Chain A
Amino acid sequence: MRGPRAAPGLLSRIFRLLFTGPLGDEACGDLEQEYSKRRAARGRVLATLWYAGHLFAPGTWALVFKLRRRARSRGMGSVSSSASSVGRPRIEASGRPLWLDVSWLDVKLGIRMMVKYPGLTLVGGFGMAVAIAISGGSFDVFNDVVRTPPPPLDDVVAMRNWNAVTGRPVTTSLRDFATWRDALESVEDVGASRWIERNFITDDGRAEPVLIADITPSAFRLMRVAPLLGRPLVEGDAHEEALPVVVIGYDVWRTRFASDPAVVGRNVRLGSTVHTVVGVMPDGFAFPLSHHFWTPLRADLSDYERGREPQVEVFGRLGPGVTLDRAQHELTTIGMRQAAAFPETHEHLRPRISSYADRWTGNDDGNAAPVGLAYLLFTTLLLVPCANVAILVYARTATRQGELAVRNALGASRRRIVAQLFMESLVLATAAAAVALVLARLAVEQMHGLMADMDGIPPFWIDVALSSSTVLYVVGLTVLAAVVAGVLPAVQATGRRVASGLRQLGADTRMQLGRTWTVLIVAQVAASVAILPAAVSVAWASVRSVIAQPGFAAEEFLTARLVMDWETPSSGEADAYWRDFYARFRELHAEVMRRLEAEPAVSGVTYAWGLPGQESPAFVEVEGMPPAGGSTPGREVRRGWVDVDYFDVFDVPILAGRRFDSRDLDTGATATIVSRTFVRQILGDNNALGRRVRVVPAGDAEPGPWYGIVGVVDDLRSNAAIYQETEGRLYHPMAPGQAHPVKLALRVGSTPATFAGRFREITIALDPTLRLQELLPLDELYRTHPMQMTARFGAWTLALATLSVLFLSTAGIYALTSVTVTQRRREIGIRVVLGAHPHRILGSIFSRAVVQLVLGVAVGILGAVPLATYMRPGALEFGIAPDTHVVLPAVAALMIAAGLVAAIGPARRGLRIQPAEVLKEGWL
C-alpha cells in the first residue's frame, strides 16, 4: 500500500519493471525508503527529482543489465550467441507484457539480422523511413497549427467579417473596428493593426524595405510585455498632431543600432517620414505576427466615407471568465445591428471571433479538421509500406523455419520467438525512425518556410523545431511499424500448426502455406499494378514539371517589383491623390529606367506588368473565327503588358511582322503581338498578321476593343510548374508608369545578384518612397517562389514515397516467389530422382509462377484503369498530365520480371539435388 509519502507511482512501477528478481525488489524498496526520507526532509519536488534522476544514472542501468544477465544465467538455460540465435529457453511468463521477454541479446540479434539481410534492411528501412518522416512531419506541422499558443496569446482573440453568402472571409474596415471596440463588453483591449511596407533608412545610409505594424497602442497592453528600453506606444502617439514615433524590436536594435543603449530618441526614416525611436521591445517579442516595427495607427474615421475606410486586422482579449461562445454571441448581435442599419455595405457580413492563433493558421473557418481523424490519417500513411515490409519479413521468417524449430526444441516458447522477431523489426524500425526524424526535421523546416513565405510573415508562436510530442509520436509510430512488420508475420509464421511441427527436430519444418502464398503473391502484384502506375506517372510528371528550366537565359536577369509608398487618402481627396500619385510614379519610373540604362554593368533594362510566366489569364475571340463554344466565353490565352523593348531585352526572336515601337503607345493605338503557341492554338497555324483579336470577359460584360496583330514572337516561357503556361500569349505595349506596381528586369550578366545593392541605391537616391520588392535574379525568383517550392516539395515527397513503395512491392514479389519455389524443393528433388526432364520441371515451376504473376497483373489492371481515369482530371488541374499507357505495362513487366528472376535461383538449386540427398532427407 502506498503510504502518504509513497514514491510516485509511475516512477516506482518503472523501477520495479527495470530491476528484476529479489535483489531488484530490494533495490526498489531502498529507493522508495530513501525517497520517503527525502520527501519528509526536503519536500516532494526535490525528492521526486532525486528519485527520477536515478533513471539517468549509469549505476541504474548497470544494475539493470547485471540483474537481467543474472536472471538469464540462473535456472533459465544457456544462451547461444550463434547467428541462428538459439533463444532464451521458455519463460513461464503468461500475463507479462511481451516486451519484458526481450533482452539486450535480442537487440544484438536484430542488428545482426539487419546486416545479414541487407536487401530487406535497405528496402524495408527506406520504406519505413519515408513513411515515418511523412507521418511525423505532417503530425508536427498539424500540431503547430492546431496547438493552443502559449500565454499571453492563449486568450487573445481575432475578429473579422465573413460573407454569409460566399462563406469566405472579407476585409474588416476601420469603422467596424471602432464599432466593435465601443460596443463589445466581453472582449477587452480591442485593437487594430494594418501592415505597411516602407524603406527603413538609418543615419549610415543603409536602407531596406521593412514591414511595419501600424497598430493601436492597446496591443502592448494586450501582450503584457514591458519594453526593454523606453516605452511602448501610448494613446497620445496616435493623435494627428503628435510627432511620428516608432517602437523597434530587439533584433532591429541589435543589428541596425549595434545594441546602442541610447537608441531611444534617435531618428530613423521610414520611407519619406522621419520617426523618433521611443522604445525597444525585448528579445522574442513580436506582434501581430513576426513584426519588429510598430508605429501608431492614425486614422480619423471622419475622413472617410462609409465603405472607403482603411482595412485593418482586429484583435482583443477575452474578459475574465468569458468564453469564446459568449463573445461570439455578443459580436453576432452587434453584427446583426450593423447589417440592419447599413444593408448596402453590411447586409451579408457576419463578424466572427476566433482564437488569435486560429485566425492566422486558417482554422477560423469553422471547418477545422477533426484532430483525431487527422492523426489517424497520418498514422494510416505508415501502414502501406509497413504491410509491404511485413510481407518481406514474413518471407524471411519462412526461410528461417529451421532456426526457429531448433529454438523451439530447446524450449523457447512461441511467445519468446515472437518477442525476438518483434525486436528484430523494432531495431530496423528504430534505425528507420532515426533517418525519418532527420528527414522530417528538414521537411518541417521547408514547410514552415513555405507557410511563412505564402503568408508573407510567419506567426511568431510557431516553432520550426520538431516538438517533443512529435518525437514521442515518432516513437509510437516506430513501435507500431515494428508490430505490423514484425509481430503479425511472426504470429502467422509460428502458428499452432507450424509450431506443433516445429517441436520435432528433423521433421519437415517448412510452413505449408501454399494457398496463402499464392494469395499473397496475387494480391501483392495486383495492388502494385493497380496503384503504382498512376502513382509513378503522377510523381514523374510532378518531378518533371518542377525541374524544368526556363526557356530563356533567366539567370542573367535581375528583377524586382517597383513600388511607391502610398497612403489611404481621405474620401474627399482620393481622386486628386491618386492622380498625383500616378503622375509622380510615371516620372520616377521613367527616371529609374534612364539611370539604370546609364549603368555600365547593365546591358538591357525593360519592364512589364508581369514577368515571363506571370501573364494573366484571359479569354479571346478572333475576328472571322467561330466562337470557342463550350462553357468558356472564348479561347483561353495569357495576356501581358510589356515595354516596347521587352522582346529585344529578352532576346525573343520576331517570327513574323514587327516588334512594338513608340507609336504603339499613342492613345488609341491597338497593336498587339502574339506568341508562336497563340498562332498554333488559336489560329491553327494560319497567318496571324493583320488578324484582329479581342478579349471577351466572363458573364454579361461587353467584349473589349479589337486589337490588330502586328507581330508574332517565339514563346517566352518560365517553365515554372506554378504558372502552368500551356496557353499562347497576347502582348500589349505599355508606357512607363502606366501600371503600379511594375516589374523591372535588368540584364546584368552572369551574376545578377551582385548588382542588387546598386539597384536599391539608385531607386532610394531618387526617392526614398520607392521600394524594390522581390529583388532577385529571375531564375531564383522562379525557383524560390513559395508556390514553386511547394510544388517541388510535394513532387519530391511524392516521388520518394512512390519510389519506396515501388521498391517494396518489387522486393515483396521477389521474396514471395522465391519462398514459394524454395518450398517446392522436396517435390523438385523427388521428380529429379524419378528421372523427370529438367525442362519439364522448370516449365512446371515457371508456369506456376507465371500463372500467379499474370493473375495478379490481370486483377491489377482491373483496378488500374479506373484509378487512372479517376485521377486524371485532378492531376490535370495541377498541371500534371499523367500518362499511364507507358507506365502500366512497365510496372506490370517489372513485377513479372521480379517474380521470374526470384524463381530462377531456387529452381536451379532444386535441379542440382542429388538422389543421395533425397534419400538422406527421407523424402522417398
Chain B
Amino acid sequence: MNLGELQQMTMLAVARLDAEAYGAAIRDELQAVAGRKVAVPTVYVTLVRLEEQGLVESTEVPGAGGRGGRARRVFRLTPAGWQALDEARVAMSRMWAGVVRP
C-alpha cells in the first residue's frame, strides 16, 4: 500500500503516542517531533482515511483531565497498519541505499 507522507507521519505519531494517540495529541506530536504544522481538520481527515483503509482503528475511552472530562477517541495501528509502515520504511531504505551525496 502506498502511503502519503502525511499519512506515514500520522501513523508514526499514533505509534509513538500509543495509548495517548488522540487527535490533539497526534497534531501536537507532528508539530513537536516532525516540525509539521497541521490544521485540526486535516489531522482528522487523515485519520478517517487511514481508518477507511484499515490501517488504524479507534476506540472511545472515558475522558480524564485535559478535555474537561469528556470522552475521547484514541487511535492505534492495526496489523495492516504496522505492515504498511514496515513496507514504507523498507521501500525508503532501499531507495536510500547506494545514494551518495555529491
Contacts and interface: CB of A to CB of B under 8 A. Distances in A.
A590 B46 CA distance: 87
B23 A54 contact: no
B22 A26 contact: yes
Given A26-B23, A29-B67, A34-B24, A62 B41 contact: yes
Nearest to A65: B45
A66 B48 contact: yes
Contacts of A26: 22-23, 44, 72-73
Contacts of B23: 26-27, 30
A12 to B, nearest CB: 13
A59 B41 contact: yes
Contact of B60 (A22, A27, A70): A22
Given A33-B24, A34-B24, A63 B41 contact: yes
B42 A59 contact: yes
A33 B22 CA distance: 13
A59 B73 contact: no
B32 to A, nearest CB: 14
A23 B70 CA distance: 13
Which of A26, A31, A54 has the largest count of B CB atoms less than 10 A from its CB? A26
B70 A54 contact: no
Given A22-B60, A26-B73, A57 B67 contact: no
A13 B70 CA distance: 18
Interface residues of B, number: 21
Closest 5 CB pairs of A and B: A59-B42, A59-B41, A63-B41, A60-B41, A30-B24
A900 B39 CA distance: 62
A23 B60 CA distance: 10
A59 B27 CA distance: 14
Contacts of B24: 29-30, 33-34
A459 B61 CA distance: 65
B40 interface: yes
B44 to A, nearest CB: 5
Which of B23, B43, B58 has the largest count of A CB atoms less than 10 A from its CB? B23
Contacts of A34: 24, 40
Interface string A27-68: 101110110000000000000000000100101101100110
Interface string B13-26: 00000000011100
Nearest to B58: A23
B72 A57 contact: no
28 contacts: A22-B60, A23-B73, A26-B23, A26-B44, A26-B72, A26-B73, A27-B23, A27-B44, A29-B24, A29-B67, A30-B23, A30-B24, A30-B40, A30-B43, A30-B44, A54-B41, A57-B39, A59-B39, A59-B45, A60-B41, A62-B41, A62-B42, A62-B45, A63-B41, A63-B42, A63-B45, A63-B48, A67-B48
A63 B46 CA distance: 9
B70 to A, nearest CB: 6
B41 A57 contact: yes
Nearest to A31: B40
Interface string B68-82: 001011000000000
Contacts of A30: 23-24, 27, 40, 43-44
A78 to B, nearest CB: 17
A66 B27 CA distance: 19
A54 B27 contact: no
Which of B27, B45, B49 has the largest count of A CB atoms less than 10 A from its CB? B45
Contacts of B22: 26
B67 A66 contact: no
Given A27-B44, A66-B45, 19 more contacts: A22-B60, A23-B58, A26-B22, A26-B23, A27-B23, A27-B40, A29-B70, A30-B24, A30-B27, A30-B43, A30-B44, A31-B41, A33-B24, A54-B39, A54-B40, A60-B41, A62-B41, A63-B41, A70-B48
B66 to A, nearest CB: 8
Interface residues of A, number: 19
A4 B81 CA distance: 41
A23 B42 contact: no
B67 A33 contact: yes
Interface string A753-768: 0000000000000000
Contacts, number: 59
Given A33-B24, A54-B39, A57-B39, A63 B44 contact: yes
Nearest to B24: A30
Nearest to B68: A29
Contacts of B47: 23
Interface of A: 19, 22-23, 26-27, 29-31, 33-34, 54, 57, 59-60, 62-63, 66-67, 70
Nearest to A66: B48
A335 to B, nearest CB: 65
Which of B27, B40, B45, B58 has the largest count of A CB atoms less than 10 A from its CB? B40
Contacts of B67: 29, 33
Nearest to A35: B40
B39 A66 contact: no
A62 B45 CA distance: 7
Nearest to A34: B40
A22 B22 CA distance: 13
Nearest to A33: B24
Contacts of A63: 41-42, 44-45, 48
A577 B67 CA distance: 89
Contacts of A70: 48, 52
B44 A23 contact: yes
A22 B48 contact: no
Contacts of A19: 41
Nearest to B44: A27
A22 B45 CA distance: 13
A534 B67 CA distance: 69
A210 B78 CA distance: 80
A38 to B, nearest CB: 12
A67 B22 CA distance: 17
A23 B48 contact: yes
A526 B52 CA distance: 59
A19 B73 CA distance: 15
A707 to B, nearest CB: 87
A841 B21 CA distance: 75
A27 B23 CA distance: 7
B31 to A, nearest CB: 11
Contacts of B52: 70
A404 to B, nearest CB: 32
B40 to A, nearest CB: 5
Contacts of B39: 54, 57, 59-60
A29 B22 CA distance: 12
A583 to B, nearest CB: 82
A59 B45 CA distance: 7
A27 B42 CA distance: 10
A22 B73 contact: yes
Nearest to A60: B41
Nearest to B63: A29
Contacts of B70: 29
A30 B44 CA distance: 10
Contacts of B72: 26, 29
Contacts of A22: 60, 73
A15 to B, nearest CB: 9
A222 B17 CA distance: 66
A51 to B, nearest CB: 10
A22 B47 CA distance: 13
A31 B22 CA distance: 13
A63 B23 CA distance: 13
Contacts of B45: 59, 62-63, 66
Nearest to B73: A26
A19 B43 CA distance: 13
A63 B41 CA distance: 6
Nearest to B38: A59
A29 B25 CA distance: 12
B54 to A, nearest CB: 14
A784 to B, nearest CB: 55
A34 B73 CA distance: 17
Contacts of A33: 24, 67
A882 to B, nearest CB: 61
